[in-house]
Structure 1
Amino acid sequence: MSRARAAIILAAGHGTRMKSNLSKVLHPIGGRPMMDWTIALAQSLGCEKIIVVVGAHNPDAKARAQALLGPNATVLQDPPLGTGHGVLTAKSALAGFEGDVIVLYADTPLIRTATAEQVFNKLSEGYGVAVLGFAAADPGAYGRLVVDQEGGLEAIVEAKEASPDQLKIRLCNSGVLAADATTLFELLGQVTNYNAKGEFYLTDVVGLARQHGLRAAAVEGFETEMLGVNSRVELAQAEALFQYQKRHAAMEAGVTLLDPNSVHFSFDTDIAQDVTIEPHVVFGRGVRVETGAVIRAFSHLEECIIRKGAWIGPYARIRPGSDVGENAHIGNFVETKKAKIGAGAKANHLSYLGDVTIGARTNIGAGTITCNYDGFDKYHTHIGADAFIGSDTMLVAPVSIGSGAMTGSGSTITKDVPAGSLGLERAQQRIIDGWATKFRAKKGATKALKSNGETL
């Protein structure tokens, strides 16, 4: 029987290099706060208990963690005295827990489940402690993983404490560590702060474990997974890595990206096979696009569904609550919001369609607006199937246009139009014979006098 699992997520750093009023760990990657990524990783690993360690300076991180995990999911590290101290503050929250614990970081959002799973696997192989590492192109200030001739992990040495020979080691520490809960907290109780920074290092657990006769192991992941975010520059680097991975996965799954580097996805963007996406498209959160759809250039989509074979854009904005039906067309400079658009319906030009239901095969003329807001409340517009809405129609909600009905161009429709009927609202056109000729003659004469310095 597999052992129970828990996760301790460290999120108490000050993040001063981010230079932000928002807690560092709440800055998003792919539209998702970094801490949410780490919580999702812990959940994907099957952790039955997840404890987030926060600081007194970041109440927004505490609130976010509790919103996701419940009111008892956070502990306070105040003041922060190092990673070992941070993990130790979670001891009381895990009282009575019997199983393995993994330590994760809320500012390291790109670690894959398969990679972290290997850390737990080492514990099941009989190792007392397992650490996740990576071969760094430039080890720099990373802590080094010192491995013996049999491949066991001897120690983790911080760069500031490392000897010249140890600084040559390329296998570096990600900070992720796992151990049996009882073992972890017993070893942490023996950690001291006799080091250059005067902090309690989690990394000292490895050396202490060896002293107690326990074996330690190192698991190697990819350096790109281990990127920790401490500044806006590193945030942009992490975003770029996420976008690269998401684009690559989409194309591998059968999505055509005409200019991959100009398309921006969210963490939950769901694109089916045989979708074509033109350049400069942005997907906000909660977008699903079904097979055969085409998303044309410079379009922005969020919290919406694009059904099979639909065409979106170019220059379209599809806002939350929109459901664009099969083979429907939403064209240039059309904005939708809470719009359910039937199969084969078309709105090809310059329209706003909010809080509306549009039936199958209906045509929406250019310049149509659903007037859904009176400054206080929102109202719904219903348009039936096979209707034809003339260009420059204002539909003042609440209003219903029946199936097969039409509205005349330039109309402001305030009353329901029955099925098969024509709704028309415009002033009667007048013709004044010769008016334009007389107007031009008068204006021309005035202009000629002014150019000669004369006055009337």
Structure 2
Amino acid sequence: MREFATVILAAGKGTRMKSGLHKVLHPIAGRPMIDHLMASAAQLGPARTVVVVGSGRDQLESALADRAETCLQEPQLGTGHAVQQAQDGLNGFDGDVLILYGDVPFVRAETMRAMLDRLHADDAPAVVVLGFEPADTLQYGRVIADADGRIEKMVEHKDATEAERACRLCNSGLMAARAADMFDLLARVGNDNSQGEYYLVDVVNVAREDGRHSAVVVTDQPDEVTGINSRAELARAEAQWQGVKREEAMAAGASLRAPETVFFSYDTQIGRDVTIEPNVVFGPGVSVADGATIRAFSHIEGASIGPGCEVGPYARLRPGAVMEKGSKVGNFVEMKKAVLGEGAKANHLTYLGDAEVGAGANIGAGTITCNYDGYFKHKTVIGPRAFIGSNSALIAPVRIGADAIVAAGSAVSRDVDDGELRMVRAEQLVKPGWADRFHDTMKKKKAGEDK
């Protein structure tokens, strides 16, 4: 491939989103939509990436950091005018230019490559347009092309004849051209139209006036050019992405009991023979090793789940949670920045935060690691094969030794040695007959009030 640059248009105001967040920063599967697009382009190794910004410029520049150059389109006078703003940023660049849209996030790397390859075919088109054939052509502009993909005419829906509207090949708006050609053609695009704007599509018409032809590449997956302009379209894009990810997970050997209820993040890694029960949500940064079981209604984010582990139901794993081989967390257990050693168990109603639990340890129901003193976080270390009785509070920093036992109901604030039993309870007070006398007194009092 020749050296190429991507120019991503993201200057629109996104008013239909009705949001203070820039449109292209709205997440799909936990990742801003523009990052989905940039990740696909990155597979081809662009020499430069320029993002055209406008409204919400500060948000975009902060989110992009040093991953892309930005240029400002102000005022916003159409798509052709937007691409022109990237010219200074690409000054001296003599490779190809690929025009993408920040709100069209699902364009595949192979589609981008096909556009760039077509640009350098033997017939050397001036411009390559990405076309698609949607189920409903709606108001899309049409691409009239011959059997070899040479464009004979591009026409907006409102200007098309009935015969032209019968053509199902539509214009996605994505284009590729050599940098010198793109900016030369754009310099001659006019704005003599009802909107008074400079349209990118008109570069094809200008090239035709020069006696040069343009070509169309047609995607076989129309959904990849889906644009997102509203909350409803964002939800449909999420559903589209999740559907693809679920199919990929099952094809790779995972069992999803109710696929439509499982939600993955953009970077979720699922091994073979993993079983995922209904209503499980994965946030970013999760890996699940072979043979693990994720039971219903669990929420997992930033966690590593080892081979043969069991999670849930109704468990929550937060960032930094690590479950080693064969360990188990059960219902209403929460882990944060904690390691559960091989074969260790925390089966019920437990919080493990800033903790390290040794192999084979058993954490009883209702146990909590008291990791926060109001100012700082502190660590709890539980040795291998230790047994922590139910309803215990381990007040960090504290260390429980190997094979130690903490009696149920204990509040442990000092280290426990290996093999030691620690019981921290108040002395039980017994008053025989007190409860019977109390009930008799209260019943008589209530009866008097009821009269």
| Category of TM-score, reference length = shorter chain | over 0.9
List per-residue Cα deviations over 1:67-118 (Å, max 9, x = no partner).
Answer: 1515xx0000001111111111001111111211100010011111122221
CA distance in 2, matches of 1:287, 1:156: 46
SS of structure 1 residue aligned to 2:7: strand
Letter of the structure 2 residue corresponding to residue 4 of structure 1:
E
Residue 92, structure 1, aligned to residue 88, structure 2: yes
Residue 250, structure 1, aligned to residue 249, structure 2: yes
Q: Tell me what 2:167 maps to.
A: 169
CA distance in 1, matches of 2:63, 2:199: 27
Paired residues for 1:208-227 under 5 Å: 208-221=206-219, 222-227=221-226
Q: Tell me what 1:19 maps to.
A: 18
Q: Tell me what 2:307 maps to.
A: 308
SS of structure 2 residue aligned to 1:165: helix
CA distance in 2, matches of 1:212, 1:285: 50
Q: Contact between 1:322 and 1:338, CA under 8 Å: does it hold in 2?
A: yes
SS of structure 2 residue aligned to 1:357: strand
CA distance in 1, matches of 2:387, 2:66: 46
Q: Contact between 1:155 and 1:204, CA under 8 Å: does it hold in 2?
A: no
CA distance in 2, matches of 1:30, 1:211: 45
CA distance in 1, matches of 2:54, 2:306: 45
Residue 101, structure 1, aligned to residue 97, structure 2: yes
Q: Contact between 1:402 and 1:420, CA under 8 Å: does it hold in 2?
A: yes
Residue 54, structure 1, aligned to residue 53, structure 2: yes
Paired residues for 1:316-331 under 5 Å: 316-331=315-330
Q: Contact between 1:340 and 1:356, CA under 8 Å: does it hold in 2?
A: yes
CA distance in 1, matches of 2:115, 2:157: 23
CA distance in 1, matches of 2:263, 2:154: 38
CA distance in 2, matches of 1:214, 1:402: 80
1:152 to 137, 150, 153: 150
Which deviates further from its counterpart, 32-41 or 317-326?
Answer: 32-41
CA distance in 1, matches of 2:377, 2:209: 69
CA distance in 2, matches of 1:278, 1:347: 20
Q: Tell me what 1:112 maps to.
A: 108
List per-residue Cα deviations over 1:351-379 (Å, max 9, x = no partner).
Answer: 11100011001000000111111111111
Shift of residue 62, structure 1, vs aligned partner: 2.5
Equivalent residue pairs, number: 448
Which deviates further from its counterpart, 284-293 or 437-446?
Answer: 437-446
Letter of the structure 2 residue corresponding to residue 286 of structure 1:
G
Paired residues for 1:54-453 under 5 Å: 54-65=53-64, 67-69=65-67, 73-125=69-121, 126-148=124-146, 150-221=148-219, 222-451=221-450, 453=451
CA distance in 2, matches of 1:59, 1:160: 36
SS of structure 1 residue aligned to 2:180: helix
Q: Contact between 1:154 and 1:207, CA under 8 Å: does it hold in 2?
A: no
Which deviates further from its counterpart, 197-206 or 162-171?
Answer: 162-171
Shift of residue 444, structure 1, vs aligned partner: 3.4
Query: CA-atom RMSD, angstroms?
Result: 1.4
Shift of residue 448, structure 1, vs aligned partner: 4.0
Q: Contact between 1:154 and 1:206, CA under 8 Å: does it hold in 2?
A: no
Shift of residue 169, structure 1, vs aligned partner: 1.8
Q: Contact between 2:149 and 2:217, CA under 8 Å: does it hold in 1?
A: no
Q: Tell me what 1:30 maps to.
A: 29
TM-score, L = length of structure 2: 0.96
Shift of residue 166, structure 1, vs aligned partner: 2.1
Which deviates further from its counterpart, 335-344 or 158-167?
Answer: 158-167
Identity %: 50
CA distance in 2, matches of 1:424, 1:206: 82
Letter of the structure 2 residue corresponding to residue 90 of structure 1:
A
CA distance in 2, matches of 1:149, 1:278: 49
Listed as ranges, the gaps of 5+ residues in structure 2 are none
List per-residue Cα deviations over 1:371-408 (Å, max 9, x = no partner).
Answer: 11111111111111100011111111111111111111
List per-residue Cα deviations over 1:401-430 (Å, max 9, x = no partner).
Answer: 111111111111100111111121111112
List per-residue Cα deviations over 1:196-239 (Å, max 9, x = no partner).
Answer: 22111111111222333333221111221111000011111111
CA distance in 1, matches of 2:322, 2:345: 13
CA distance in 2, matches of 1:319, 1:68: 29
Letter of the structure 2 residue corresponding to residue 297 of structure 1:
A
Listed as ranges, the gaps of 5+ residues in structure 1 are none
Shift of residue 162, structure 1, vs aligned partner: 2.7
Which deviates further from its counterpart, 387-396 or 55-64?
Answer: 55-64
Letter of the structure 2 residue corresponding to residue 131 of structure 1:
V
SS of structure 1 residue aligned to 2:183: helix
